Structure 1
Amino acid sequence: MTAFGLRAAVGSDSRFLTDMVVEAANWNPSASRQRVSVLADPEYTRYIAGWQRPSDAGVVAEDTEGMPVGACWFRLFPTNAPGHGFVAVGVPELILGVSPIWRAQGAGRALLREVVSMARTAGHARLTLSVERGNHAVDLYRSEGFVTVATPGSRETMVKNLR
């Protein structure tokens, strides 16, 4: 496994989080979307717009030279502007993105586990996410205790109980 470290995401990470939203949207190389297309879509920009709001929290993985290679974060959404994985007000939705060359090296799992810990420490009872069917990340989520609670369209909404 290649070495990486984790640190808390901060306000100045917004550009990198934007990169990771694009990576998450483009998990399937055969259905890749141009960056400008992803960032023009409010379905994706809602995960990064105004980062870092008071209820936002996350973590960034960095290589041994301090270059960011992945990120996982959560935020809360209102009922009138829900994220893909919205289940209820007060249940944060997480987003996870890892640079392609860092996938399958443990960074995603480490990021996910740290964000789950952060959400638990912040007092949240559940954490939710949305993943497109066919994305291999669903195996990671299941192995970390996330359970599918809905299957809208081509996506799975998954929830992990934190208590």
Structure 2
Amino acid sequence: MITIRNGAPADEFFLKEMTYQAIYSPKGGGFLPRKILEEPAIRRYYADFGREGDVAFIALSDDKAVGAVWVRLATTAQKGYGFVRSDVPELAIAVLPAFRGRGIGTALLEQMLTHLHATGLEAVSLSVSRSNPARKLYERHGFSLVKNQKNSCTMLIELT
């Protein structure tokens, strides 16, 4: 059985792992070395989690963390891959490979969107590889394309 709990600053190490899992690599494409997690453009997704505006939900299976969704605000000087503007947080989501395809990502995304909508937030954005099947999940939940890059795209959902 999957349960979802609120994230906390103590989840930073797990969010680091989830950041790595969120980096999409098509089958046969190989995975990037873990040292990529220390690059500033990647560290911004998990480092010092618990700052103002940070929100996370953690999916658990038998009390073991198996997935996460989280949002962070960025500045124009420290923007992420899905940055739209400084008042729009960027969403990241990942599920451990052994737990994918069970609806965990959907449950996490719905939990986060419900929470953000209740807070009165106007919008949330994300970056996704153009070939990542998760893109269909985002589209089903109302995200739309706002910017196309070579291998990825930025999507946004208006919450108001």
Question: What's the TM-score, normalizing by structure 1?
Answer: 0.93
**1-side partners of 2:151 and 2:41: how far apart?**
14
SS of the residue aligned with 2:88? coil
CA RMSD of aligned residues (A): 1.1
In structure 2, C-alpha distance between the alignment counterparts of 1:83 and 1:51, rounded to whole Å: 15
How far off is 1:74 after superposition?
Answer: 0.2
What is the correspondence of 1:38-57 to structure 2 with a 5 Å cutoff? 38-57=36-55
1:117 corresponds to 2:129? no
- Code of the residue aligned with 1:124 in structure 2: it is L
1:156 aligns with one of 140, 153, 158: 153
Q: What residue in structure 2 maps to residue 142 of structure 1? A: 139
Secondary structure at 1:145 match in 2: coil
- Structure 1 gap ranges (5+): none
Is 1:69 aligned to 2:66, yes or no? yes
CA shift, 1:52, in A, is 1.0
Indicate if the aligned counterparts of 1:86 and 1:128 stay in contact, CA closer than 8 A. Answer: yes
Secondary structure (helix, strand or coil) at the match of 2:153 reads strand
> TM-score, with normalisation over the residues of structure 2?
0.95
Q: Distance in 2 between matches of 1:70 and 1:34?
A: 21
Corresponding position of 2:85: 88
Q: Could you give the per-residue CA deviations for residues 14-44 of structure 1, whole angstroms, max 9, x where no partner exists? A: 11111100001144342311212x2122221
SS for the counterpart of 1:134 is coil
How far apart are the structure 1 equivalents of 2:57 and 2:91?
Answer: 11
User: Relative to 1, partners in 2 of residues 1:27 and 1:121: Cα closer, same or farther, differing over 3 Å?
Assistant: farther
| Structure 2 CA distance for aligned equivalents of residues 147 and 121 of structure 1 | 21
| Matched residues, number | 159
